[in-house]
Every structure is written in structure tokens, then in C-alpha cells.
Chains A and B, each alone.
Chain A
Amino acid sequence: MPRLSADRRHPVTLNLNGRTVRGEAEPRMSLTDFLRHEIGATGTHVGCEHGVCGACTVLIDGQTARACLALAVQVDGSDVKTVEGLEEEPGRLGVIQEAFREHHGLQCGFCTPGFLMTLDALFRERPDADEDLIRETLSGHLCRCTGYAPIVRAALAARDWLRDGETDHA
């Protein structure tokens, strides 16, 4: 890793949702602040800034990570996937998103991007995840609106659609 200077902004380049983005960050800038206020990708939300609520979850090189606990300079050169990268094409929701809509898996929508990213990673790794594994995996996320039941239903539906290779859920 290059030597960083605390009082200087350093160039940071990411592959964000398949596109190269560039910005500058002081070494102490969190990845959430970089994504939201440097790049303008405001879909990733900040709920606690101490790694408990899960709202800021993104994928860094395919692995789920709390963007509030990562520094922008740490992910220089990485692939980062955020909620903005889940649509199948502009205006067409991805499978997990569609399942959330159909099953009322969101209310205020603030925690939702984190849930979506964790499920995206889970179903890639474990397409056969059962309800227990889904619950355990989602236990790293806090939602204050839904009481979780509709989220679990949406996750199960999304798993089935993905497994059965359905592409048209509309």
C-alpha cells in the first residue's frame, strides 16, 4: 500500500457497479462518505457508523462489508457493488428487489439497501439457503419498520425465483 499522508487528499479509483469512478479522499474518510458525498452514490445509507445496524452494507470484491467501517483509501482499486448496481437494467428491478416490492419487505426503505446487498451475496454463494440460514445471515441487519417477517418472506421468494431461473416476475 502506498504511504498516505493524514493531511492530504489521495486519489481513489473504484470499479463501482461495473463502471470506473474516481475521487479523492483524506486517509480518514469513510467509504460511506466517499460513495455518498464524493461520488454521489447516495443509495448506500448510514445508520450507526459503528458497524451494528448494517444499513451501509456493500460488496467489496464480492464480499459483504460495512462501508461505514471501511476507509475509502482501503478500497482503492477494488470492485465495489452497491444497491445502485442491483437493477437488471435501468427501470427494471432485479429479482431480490422485485421480491421485496411484492412482499412489502420495506417501509421507510432506509435499511433496505443493506438487506438487499447481503442477500445478493448470500444467494450467489448459497443458492439453496434455507430459512434458518437466511435469518442468521440477516441477523446482522436492523430494521425498525417491518418486524422482519415480510423481509424473510421476500428473501424466500427471491431465492426460489433465482433458483428456478425465473426472469419475469412482473
Chain B
Amino acid sequence: MSVAAPSDGKWVGQSLPRVEDAALLTGRGRYIDDLPVAPGTLHAAILRSPHGHATIEAIDVARALALPGVAAVITGDDVKRYGSSMVVGVKAPLDCWPIAIDKVRYFGEPVAVVVAESRYIAEDALDRIDVRYVPLPAVIDPVAALEEDAPVLHERLGRNLVSERAFRYGDPEAAFAAAPHRIAIDVRYPRNACTPIETYGVIAEYDPGLDGYDVTANFQGPFSIHAVMARALKVPGNRLRLRTPPDSGGSFGVKQGIFPYVVLVAIAARVAGRPVKWIEDRLEHLMGSVTATNRAVTLAAAVEADGRITALDWDQVEDTGAHLRAPEPATLYRMHGNMTGAYAIRNVAIRNRVVLTNKMPTGLNRGFGGPQVYFALERLVHRIATTLKLDPLDVIRRNLIPAEAFPYRTATGALYDSGNYQEAIAAAVQDGGLADLIARRDAARAEGRIYGIGYTAAVEPSVSNMGYITAVLTPEERTKAGPKNGAQASATISLDAVGSVSVHVSSTPQGQGHRTVLAQVVADAFGLTPADVRVVTEVDTSRDAWSIASGNYSSRFAPAVAGAARIAAERLRAKLAAIAAKQLDADLEDIRFDKGRVHAGDPERSLAFGRIASTSHWAPGELPQGIEHAIRETAFWTPPELTAPDAQDNVNSSLCHGFIFDFCGVEIDRETAAVRIDKYVTMHDCGRILHPGMVAGQVTGGFAHAVGAALLEETAYAPDGSLESGTLADYLIPTVMETPEPLILHYESPSPFTPLGAKGVGEGNCMSTPACIANAVADALGIEDVTLPIRSSVLAEHLHGPEPEPLRPPRVAPPAPATKAGERVLTGEGEAVVVAPRQQVWNMLLDPDVLMSIIPGAHGVEKVSETKFTADVTLGVGPVKSRYSADIELSDLDEPNGVTLTGGTQGALGFGKGSGRITLTETEKGGTRIGYTYQAAIGGKVASIGGRLLDGAARVVIGQFFEALARKAGGGSGRLHVPGFVKRLLAMIGIAR
């Protein structure tokens, strides 16, 4: 595609076609699973815990090792031998291993790794590892995890609270005492994850001569984690060569969380003595990658009569899951400087607690801390407006930071670089058509429709201060540990022997188009076209210029990395100008770089750029005095504003602060309670825009994630720790049908702190949009509390009242087996009539051979004692089929009238237990009526991926049992309570015959 020359002589600021696209559109991308591997590379598969919380009594890998093609099986013992616990970011007696050691603490936690000739064989072998678990009570809720009698995850810690800090800025107590209103809100931000379409991938090799590891992984940074990985592998940093592939299929923070698997696969390669490759599958990703934190927040405001907020009191309980994995609890502290959002509030109290629960550990995820904070803050602003009968937009406006106050130091320590929030809002109200939207709402309501409008104002931080996380430590602990601060960005520009230009940055993009933007930035500096500049963005820690801040996170590319490239280009250009001045015999200040040539004011008297740029290679003797070379220039840039947290806990957590103002109209269907986003307007001030097309892509992409978080997505756990969102049919991601296009508006106030004036833009809507949609839903229904994700089933209660009792209540079921509260319990009942007499049926029920022939999927039934049986059973539910071992015990024997069966099963795909009572009565014709009631509790993988199918599947399996019994007992008629459509459905998916 040809590209017009820039009108103002600059490429930056134009929406050029991306240099990345031609390869990606033709199937020539090079993602991790596309890369060549060394001959002899083995493939890994990971056995994961089917329990949310259990001790491991024994792991028997012998049958797995015996499978041809299996090279090694790695368990916690191997990892302990070759590795050490990954460092934890707080002072607490807490380990963090990449694999279960002695116990499992979340559903999906790795328990063993098989390496084999192929992934298929490795997965076969997983079924042959026998693990004996003793399930423990689990705790899922972060507030419940704080209770005295809550199950404790980490015995050495002795409790689930890992960190608690209190902060006080200004005089919050006096402000609350003086204010006429105290208005508070309790909210829960749910767990969700940005689920990139490409999963994790690691290729690792161990070199015993070097005692070093060579790893390629689609890791996204921050490279501070490199230090964590090297330590966990017990090698110095220079013995862990970490490389990233040229392309990565999305990350949104999530591919930071690959690092425990880097450690695990590296150790597997060491044990196996061969290179090992592991590509995570989607089910693994949904159970064992990372999610955002869920958080319980109580937020109170001291409020004047006109809606002005004079103080905030935050109480945050952060749930980081089963381990405190680096860099957590960073999600909690990333926003520390921004706890007052876009508002001029000088008095703030904060209590932060971090707790562990039996859930997947957390990590980076788009928005990182912002969604949790703004959902509370902006829902509170809405609550203030409704409580005081004010217009929510007026409350927002009254509290904004004044335009003349920038750069503005927030109460908690952030230095907001630039902005004019009042003008940005005025422009959004005007250009976004707020007056029309309000008229639309009024018209809809006049027709009896349910329509609401929501607003949010948010400050979007970018370019994280690497020191903010140390706010989790007390000032004394920080002093002891030494200061941490800054955000080093690096860029290297090289000139080769024909003067062509290469750029390298350690930014590891996952689709953000970094190569295009850098080509624009550098082309501008040298008077070239972007096509003249070759950009490399993948990282090799053994060769490249990088720092702990390298990587792609906290929206740092445009403000920091592109700026570092500009600095490197300017330094090189200054040298090239001196070389040109000598060769052209001209004054240095007259030298111009333009259209591929270098001249001194007169384009007629010029030299080709390549001639000047290659001088250092071919004729170093001709270089002007003071210039050693102009071959390679590396620039490191860190902003001086990013200082360490101070003794008063003032935390300048980020460098740049964009502004977002959103409003939206939603309509709720009166019948179905479905939420439809009718109109969404989002105003962004992200400083100087380097590439409008890519900025729009970041906004619409972040918005789609936020629509998912608001309406659909939740990583959900049952109270026993079983995962309930284990497939993409259960963890719902918005499709094109659920994702409206927002109207995007811009207001540009360039950052004075960044080389190009740019600020980050990729995460803002994840922060603002869930709260904005929730505010609109609250406005539509006139309700106080809105829970995310906003499900129609919950809203329906507001419209139709609670679900009515069924007209024909079910018959009373027998007492429940001893299940933990909230385990997935299935109940059912039915009866069958057979021609055989009662005593014969009774005898059949106690005969192992008969049982084997009538239990669906039974391979072997053994009689252990008169009342105990064991069985091997293969059952399929939904897409998965697996073997289970079952123990069955008979009790309350009342020959030949009735018997109670109690049993438990355990298999690779989950576990279950249940009991049923069978009663036999004689019919008038001398046959037998078999009646049964049962209840069963099921957990583990099968519950997580087939949960919606289980009730029907259980009915069918039990129905099959009695149908078979009836056939065996001389025929008869089974009358089973299975509706015909359920049978057909189950037949389609292969459960029923």
C-alpha cells in the first residue's frame, strides 16, 4: 500500500497501515507455537488438582512412567530439589511454589507434569497418575476468609490475612465530623480475566555445562519478574536466558502470569535432560493462569449539602487467591496515588487488607486495580446524587480538580501531569449529544420502557512507578529494604554498513502495533519514511538492553518506550549532523534531514542519508573530533518525577494521568430483564495521540473487555472451591452481537513529563465502563445496589419479584448426605415396575455380577464385604469421558423392603458422593415396584466443565441403571422423571443412548 507523504512533514500522528499486518493476515505470524524447536524436544502436559483445597497423601506415577513414550514425570519433590520458592512481596512466612507441595490450594493447581514424545501421549499419561487427596474445607469469600474459624490455606502463616496497612492523609476524622452527610457504599468487584485468544506457551532447555536455562515464552513483562524466575530456578540472572517470540496473541496483562510455568517447565527440562515445550490449553487457562483480583470494598464519603466530597474512607479487602504471587499485592497499590480519582478531595483514610482464598492466584489484567477502585468510587458518586436528590453530573463537576491546579498533587501522593477535566466534560456533553440522550430517556420512560443514564469520570494512570508496590511495606521496612522507584525504558538504534536503520526496544507487544509507531517516530527524526526503518520488539535478555521495567504493561509504550526511541534517535541524529557538517563543509546548525537526504539548507547540495549513516563503518578516520562512532545508540529513560514512596506514605504511583468521561444510555427489557447498551460515549484525554487508528483500537478493545466485565464475565467458584466457569461456554466473552460501538471523543492535553507528550490509553475503559453501565442500570431501575456482572436473572427480581414457588412442590427428599455447604447437589427420584418378584430383585441388588451388568459404564464390581462394593466406572458428561473408581456401601438393610446405598467416586475429572434409598414393594400382579430417591454432590473438573449438564446426566445414568435392572428382572416399565427433550439433548451429546 502506498502512503502519502506527511502533510506537516511528520509521520507521527498519522494512522498509517501497520507494518505488522501483512504477515499476520497471511498466516505468517510467528507465535510461540509456530517457532521451530530443537530435535528431540519433548512435550509437557500438567495434571491439575480437582479439589479447591486438599492435602496430598500420595502421588503414584509408576503407571504413567510405564507408558511408552513417557520420558519423565515431575512432581513437587523435583521442583523442591532444583528450585526454591518464588519470592513473595510481603514480609510473611509464606511460600509460593509453581506446583503443589503436600497440598493443593486451588482448583487447577499443578500437581504433576508429564513430559513425553507427544502431547497426546503426555495427556494419556496424566490419567495414569494416581493421587490420593484428603479434601479440606475451602474458603472462597475474602471476607469470610478473615473470620477466626475460616479454613487456613497456609499453615505456617496460620491465618489468611497476609498484609494489612492503614493510611491517613489530611484530616479525614475532622472532615467526617464536620460534614452534614456521611454516605457509604458496599461493593464487591468480581473476578474476571481478559483471556487472550492465544494461551501461554513455554519452550525450555537446561544446559548442565553452563548450569543455565534457555527459555522462550510468550511472557509480556514486567522483566522485574525475570529476577523472580532466576531466583526460583536457583541461578544468577545471567544463567536464565529469556526470549520472547516475535508475535504474541494478546495478553492484556495476563501473560505476566506465565512465570510460574516458566519455572516449572524449565525444571521439567532439567529433569528430562531434553528441551521441553508446553502449550497451555484453554481449559488450563481458565482454571490455572491468572485472573484479576476480586475485592470487597466499603467506601464512605463526607459530603456537603451541594454534593461536594470533603473526605473519603476506604476499607478494601483484596483477594489474591491461593498464593501471593509476584507482583501482588500490586493490584491493590497500583492505584494508591489515585484513590480520589478525578476529584479534589484532600482528606483520605485507607485500610488495605490482603487475604488468601482457595481460588486461582491473581496477577496483571487490563485496568489493574482501576476497575476495583472506580466501581466503588463512581457508584458512590451516583449514590450521593440519588441520596441528596442531585444530578449525578453536577456532583461529578462540583468535585473535579480545577484546571489551573495542574500539575496537581493528590492527597495520597500522585502528581497528575496535565488536564482540563471541565473542558473535556463540556466537549463530551456537547459532541456526545447528552441533551438528546436525556430526551430519549424521557421519551422511553413516557412509553413505559425501562431506560437509564449513567456517568463516570476517571483518571487513567500509566507508566507505573516500579516503587509503588513498596507501599505495602511500612516506611521502616522500606528504609531497610532500600529505595525502589522509576520506570526505565530503553531503545537501541543501529546503523549498518549501508546506513539502513534498525530499532530495538524491549517492549514485547501483543498486538499493539509498536513496530509501526516506532518506525514513525524514528523516520521523523532522520527524515526517512517508516518503510526505511526496521523495528524489532522481541526480547532476548542475554543480548538486549533491558531493565526490570521492560515489557508491555501499565500502558507505558506511547509515553515511555516511544519516547526512549525518540531520545536515542535524537542523540544519533546529533552525531550524524556533525558528520554531515564536516562532509558538506557546512555549519552544524544548518544541517537538515529530509526525504532521505542530508543537506545544509540547500537541498541541491546534499548527501544521501545512507552515505552519512554508514561513515562510521567505512571511514571512521573521517569522523569529526569528539565522535567515536555513530553505529549504535542505546537510550535509557526514566522520569525524575517517579520518586520512591516517602516516610508519610505519599505514593506517586504513576507518571501519566489520562482523563476519561463516559456517559451511556441503557434499556432494560421489561420481560427478559436483558440489558441493552443503547448509546455509549467515551471522552479520552490521553495527551498527544501518536497514531489515531491505534488509539481508537485500544479504546474499542478496552471497552469490549469492560462490557464483558459489566454484563457477562465472572471466574466463578462454588463454595467448595470447584470452578464453575471452566469452558468458554461457561466463561462468557462478548461477541460482536453484545459489543456496541462506542462514540469516541478526544481532548488533548499533552503530558509535560513524557518525551512525546503522550499518555497511556489502553486501560481506561476497563476502569470507567463497568461503573458507568452499573450507574445507568441503577438509574433505569431506581435501585441502590448493582452487582457485577449484571445478570438478567438478578435484575428480573426487581421487575417481577422473587421466583414464585413451583405449583406442584417436589416430594420431600431424604436427608442430605454430609456435604459441605454449597457443593453442587443433585437430587432426583423415580420408580420402575418389573415383573420379577420382590425377593429376586433384592438378591440381584446385592449380587456383584448383576450390578456389573446393570451399572452404566461399570468394568469391574468387587464385593469387599457383605455390604461393601468397589467398582470401576467409565462415564461421560458433556465433552468429557473419564474413568472413576467408586466405593459403594449398603446400609439400613431391611430385606426385602428397602436399602440405602451410600457411595463416593474419584477420578481424574472430579469426584462425587451421594446416597440413595431404594424401596421395593409388591405389585398386585406379583411383580415389584422399585422406588428410589437420591442425592449426590459432585465437584472437580467435571462439575466445572459440565455443570449445566449434570442434573440431566445424573438422571439419565440412574435411569439407565433401573432400566437395566428392569430388563434383567424380566422386563417391565420404567417410569422415569426425565422429560423427553432432556433425553434427546443428552442423546445428542452422547450421554444417553
Chain A positions within 8 Å of B, measured between CB atoms, are 26, 28-29, 36, 41-50, 52-53, 55, 82-84, 86-87, 93, 97-98, 100-102, 104, 106-113, 116, 135-136, 138-152, 170
A87 CA / B23 CA spacing, docked (Å) = 11
Write 28 A-B pairs (CB below 8 A) sorted by A numbering.
Answer: A43-B26, A43-B27, A47-B282, A48-B282, A50-B282, A93-B22, A97-B25, A101-B1, A104-B693, A104-B696, A106-B24, A107-B511, A107-B701, A108-B196, A108-B248, A108-B511, A109-B24, A109-B511, A110-B198, A110-B511, A112-B25, A135-B736, A142-B197, A144-B197, A144-B705, A147-B702, A147-B739, A148-B704
Q: Whose C-beta in chain A lies nearest to the C-beta of B279?
A: A46
Taking A145-B250, A151-B736 as contacts, is the C-beta distance between A41 and B27 under 8 angstroms? yes
CA distance A50 to B513 in the complex (A): 29
Which of the segments B423-431, B629-637, B726-734, B828-836 contacts the partner chain?
A: B726-734
* CB of A97, distance to nearest CB on chain B (Å): 4
**Are A147 and B249 within 8 A (Cβ)?**
no
Q: Quick check: is B625 within 8 A (CB to CB) of the other chain?
A: no
Identify the closest chain A residue to B27 (Cβ). Answer: A43
Partner of B25, one of A26, A42, A101, A150: A101
B27 to chain A: which residues have CB within 8 Å?
41-44, 82-84, 113
In the complex, B247 has a CB within 8 A of chain A:
yes
CB-contact partner of A107 in B17, B512, B879, under 8 A: B512
A-B contact count (CB 8 A): 176
* Residue among A84, A138, A147, A170 making CB contact with B26, cutoff 8 Å: A84
Tell me, yes or no, whether B735 is within 8 Å of chain A by CB: yes
* Inter-chain contact A28/B737, CB cutoff 8 Å: no
> For the complex, would chain B's binding face be called helix, strand, loop or mixed by DSSP majority?
loop
Asked if A110 and B693 sit within 8 Å, CB to CB, the answer is no
The residue of chain B having its C-beta at the shortest distance from the C-beta of A100 within the complex is B25
State which of A44, A53, A144 has its C-beta within 8 Å of the C-beta of B194.
Answer: A144
Given contact pairs A50-B727, A144-B704, a sample of 13 additional A-B residue pairs in the complex whose CB atoms are under 8 Å apart: A45-B31, A48-B728, A49-B282, A84-B26, A86-B25, A101-B17, A108-B196, A109-B29, A110-B249, A139-B735, A139-B736, A140-B735, A148-B736
Smallest CB–CB gap between A100 and chain B, Å? Answer: 6
Which residues of chain A come closer than 8 Å to B33, judged between CB atoms?
Answer: 36, 42, 46
| Chain A residues with CB below 8 A from B250, complex form | 107-108, 110, 144-145
B514 to chain A, nearest CB (A): 11
- Tell me the complex Cα distance, A113–B250, Å: 15
Q: Tell me whether A108 and B694 are in contact in the complex, defined as CB-CB below 8 angstroms, given that A43-B26, A136-B737 are known contacts.
A: no
Kindly provide the distance from the CB of A144 to the nearest chain B CB, expressed in whole angstroms.
5
Q: Shortest distance in angstroms between B27's beta carbon and chain A's nearest beta carbon?
A: 2
B704's partner among A41, A109, A147 (CB-CB below 8 A) is A147
Bound CA span A139–B991, Å: 28
Report B773 CB to chain A, min CB distance, Å.
15
A149 to B741, CA, bound (A): 6
Question: Which residue of chain A is the closest to B765 with respect to CB atoms?
Answer: A147
**Once bound together, how far apart are the Cα atoms of A104 and B18, in whole Å?**
8
B697 touching A45 by the CB < 8 A rule?
no
Contacts A43-B27, A47-B198, A108-B198 known; A170 to B281 CB distance under 8 Å? no
Cβ proximity bits B669-687 to A, threshold 8 Å, 1 near / 0 not: 0000000000000000000
Indicate which residue in A49, A107, A151, A152 contacts B281 across the interface (CB closer than 8 Å).
A49
Q: Which residues of B are found within 8 Å of A44, using beta-carbon distances?
A: 27
Q: Are B735 and A141 in contact (CB under 8 A)?
A: yes
Residues 1-59 (chain B) with a chain A CB within 8 angstroms: 1-2, 15, 17-18, 20-22, 24-29, 31, 33-34
A113 to B31, CA, bound (A): 13
Asked whether B195 is an interface residue with its Cβ less than 8 Å from the other chain, the reply is yes
Tell whether, in the assembled complex, residue B694 and residue A104 are in contact, meaning their CB atoms are under 8 Å apart: yes
Q: Are A109 and B195 in contact (CB under 8 A)?
A: no
- B529 interfacial contact with A, CB 8 Å: no
Knowing A144-B194, A144-B733, A145-B511, the reply to whether A93 touches B727 (Cβ < 8 A) is no
- Give the complex CA separation of A96 and B146 in angstroms: 55
- Known contacts A42-B27, A50-B729, A148-B736, A108 near B21 by CB under 8 Å: no
Q: Whose C-beta in chain B lies nearest to the C-beta of A82?
A: B27
A28 to B639, CA, bound (A): 55
Across-interface contacts of B735 in A (CB, < 8 A): 138-142, 148
Q: Given A55-B197, A101-B25, are A147 and B34 neighbors across the interface (CB < 8 Å)?
A: no
B197 pairs with A83, CB closer than 8 A: no
The answer for the CA separation of A104 and B695 in the assembled complex, in Å, is 11
Across the interface, B729 reaches (CB within 8 A) one of A26, A43, A52, A111, namely A52
Alpha-carbon distance between A28 and B702 when the two chains are bound, in angstroms = 38
Q: How far is the CA of A104 from the CA of B196 in the complex (A)?
A: 18
Interface string of B248-269 (1 = CB under 8 A from A): 1110100000000000000000
User: Does B278 belong to the interface (CB within 8 Å)?
Assistant: no
Q: Does B249 lie within 8 Å of A109, measured CB to CB?
A: yes
Interface status of B663 (Cβ within 8 A of chain A): no
Could you say which residues of chain B place their CB within 8 Å of the CB of A106? 21, 24-25, 511
Complex contact B26–A83 (CB within 8 A) = yes
Q: Which one of B20, B199, B700, B879 has the greatest number of beta carbons of chain A within 10 Å?
A: B700
Q: How far is the CA of A102 from the CA of B28 in the complex (A)?
A: 18
Q: Could you tell me the distance between the alpha carbons of A141 and B197 in the complex, rounded to whole angstroms?
A: 10
A42 touching B700 in the complex, CB below 8 Å, given contacts A84-B26, A109-B511? no
| B198 and A43 contact, CB distance less than 8 A | no
